A = this chain, B = another copy of it.
Amino acid sequence: MTEANSRPSDGFHVFDTTLRDGAQREGINLTVADKLAIARHLDEFGVGFIEGGWPGANPRDTEFFARAQAELEFKHARLVAFGATRRAGGKAAEDPQLAALVASGAPVVTLVAKSHDRHVELALRTTLEENLEMVRDSVEYLRAQDRRVFIDCEHFFDGYKANPEYALAVVRTAHRAGADVVVLCDTNGGMLPSGVREIVATVLAETGARLGIHAQDDTGCAVANTLAAVDAGATHVQCTANGYGERVGNANLFPVTAALELKYDRRVLPAGALAEMTRISHAIAEVVNLTPSTHQPYVGFSAFAHKAGLHASAIKVDPDLYQHIDPELVGNTMRMLVSDMAGRASIELKGKELGYDLTGDRDLAGRVVARVKAQENLGYTYEAADASFELLLRDEVNGGERQRYFELESWRTISEQGPNGFAGNEATVKLWAKGERKVATGEGNGPVDALDRALRTALEPIYPALAKLELVDYKVRILEGQHGTGSKTRVLIESTDGTATWSTVGVADNVIGASWVALEDAYTYGLLRVGQQP
């Protein structure tokens, strides 16, 4: 992992825990590949710290840290390993869990520590004194291994209310032992901003430690609680993308950083990052396979949607009167209802990103907007399917014509499971390419895999470049979840040829039909990008 120099100042920490605490959300189950993909998005957004998981606690997190070392090149973030203080009655230097944290190679470690007296007794089953000793010993050990250490004081606010002297003693112990930041955690999420502000201010005055805040959203106030802690002097905020997290969730990274940047006028992200917020929020939702919330502050599809009519003319004169911020600051757009998703401006920006200048041709941009709108009505989404969008854009640039490497005649898949555990999947494609009719059959682990193999068998003799093409990820989303297996299906496919990676989308009333559409785009894009002539 190489480290660049463009990190935000250390004076204020935006600390992301999507990969650890966010992954606790009911229904989220991340693979190592998912975690690496999310880490890249978070780094691009410009968070200062990415907590990757608990190395040693399960094989998946251990593997993540190993691969992160090898594969991730962060521009802004530092990788953080999460763990706990050493076990009661032992020594930090001999604790296998702490050894795994060191072995993870992460330059920063967050250690969770108990700060609520009852939790020490009930969950740790040790004495209050030994818990302090565990904090001191663990922090000093990691400092001696040259790790930067943050301490998460679990259940801090409840603990402070129950026994303030003890909660403060934990903060002082961690601080004196060399923890850089002591993070006050509202683990049960029951706090309100006024209480957070008061307690953070008191702890700061009493201990002088650098303080952080970790807020859960059980009262619906996690963002406000985070900001209240900042008001009281905290300089480290722990958040998760889209507020994912256990129970109701965590403080949402996006409204927290937007408020700090736009309302507090405080630079907590790299220049230009804020405008990527909407795209990155949606991209992360795709990776975890949850529909992006249409009503999420700042980044939701509806966040700047105005019912037209009453104030339409006034909005035209001065939109700022009707919006708390300019939506483009966070990469979102104003919409008048009933209206479209894609505006010309965003299409022009997207075209520019892909290397097509559309600003000179308003008519072309308008046609692309119309196509995107029509496709989105059918269930397509281009946020996570750049290659399909680029193909659509090229179609319009080329006067509405798709460059075709093959013409499909038909495909068929058969899946079966028979007696004695026999199971099989087989696909046949019939198509025309360069004037030849090709019929090919493939077998696979599933019907889509079989279809991919049949297509490859048919086309490889004609287009040898396809030998390098590989499907690396495949996602299915059922749209309109109220109709069971009869609903529309959207498939996203990620492909690579070893030098580039691209994503395509297909929609149909079933998973195989949708996969076919996305496969066809994937093959077409793969051939286009190496300059293959049809």
Contacts and interface: CB of A to CB of B under 8 A. Distances in A.
Interface string A179-210: 00000000011101110000000000000000
A398 B437 CA distance: 58
A439 interface: no
A447 B516 CA distance: 14
Interface residues of A, number: 121
A50 interface: no
Interface string A502-528: 000000011111011000000000000
A177 interface: no
Number of identical monomers bound together in the oligomeric complex: 2
A384 interface: yes
A217 B31 CA distance: 33
A223 interface: yes
A219 interface: yes
B415 A510 contact: yes
A249 B478 contact: no
Interface in A99-146: 116, 118-119, 122-123
A263 interface: yes
Given A314-B123, A417-B410, A484 B471 contact: yes
A448 B485 contact: yes
A414 B417 contact: no
A221 interface: yes
B481 A291 contact: yes
Interface stretch (A5-13, A73-81, A295-303, A357-365): A295-303
A31 B481 contact: yes
B449 A474 contact: no
Main SS class of interface, A: mixed
A1 interface: no
Contacts of A218: 297-298, 303, 324
Contacts of A511: 446-448, 476, 511
A513 B417 contact: yes
Interface in A450-501: 452, 470-487, 489, 493-494
A233 interface: no
Given A445-B486, A486-B449, A219 B476 contact: no
Interface string A215-240: 00111110111011001000000000
B223 A325 contact: no
Nearest to A118: B321
Nearest to A252: B220
A492 to B, nearest CB: 9
A263 B192 contact: yes
A190 B476 contact: no
A425 interface: yes
A402 interface: no
A291 to B, nearest CB: 7
B416 A411 contact: yes
A62 to B, nearest CB: 14
Interface stretch (A39-47, A271-279, A304-312, A388-396): A304-312
Interface in A382-407: 383-384
B470 A474 contact: no
Interface in A411-452: 411-419, 422-423, 425, 444-449, 452
A247 B305 contact: yes
Given A221-B223, A409-B419, A416-B411, A189 B324 contact: yes
A295 B248 contact: yes
A70 interface: no
A341 to B, nearest CB: 8
A163 interface: no
Interface in A30-86: 31-34, 58
Contact of A479 (B31, B122, B228, B263): B31
A447 B411 contact: no
26 contacts: A26-B302, A26-B384, A29-B479, A31-B480, A122-B314, A155-B321, A188-B323, A192-B227, A192-B263, A194-B228, A219-B259, A219-B263, A220-B223, A247-B303, A248-B300, A412-B414, A413-B414, A413-B415, A425-B510, A445-B485, A446-B512, A449-B486, A449-B510, A472-B484, A476-B476, A485-B493
The 5 closest A-B pairs by CB, nearest first: A446-B510, A190-B324, A471-B484, A224-B224, A412-B416
Interface of A: 24-27, 29, 31-34, 58, 116, 118-119, 122-123, 155, 158, 188-190, 192-194, 217-221, 223-225, 227-228, 231, 246-249, 252, 255, 258-259, 263, 289, 291, 294-298, 300, 302-307, 311, 314, 317-318, 321-325, 337, 340, 381, 383-384, 408-419, 422-423, 425, 444-449, 452, 470-487, 489, 493-494, 509-513, 515-516
Given A192-B227, A446-B486, A476-B477, 10 more contacts: A122-B317, A220-B255, A409-B419, A413-B415, A415-B512, A425-B510, A445-B485, A449-B484, A470-B484, A475-B478
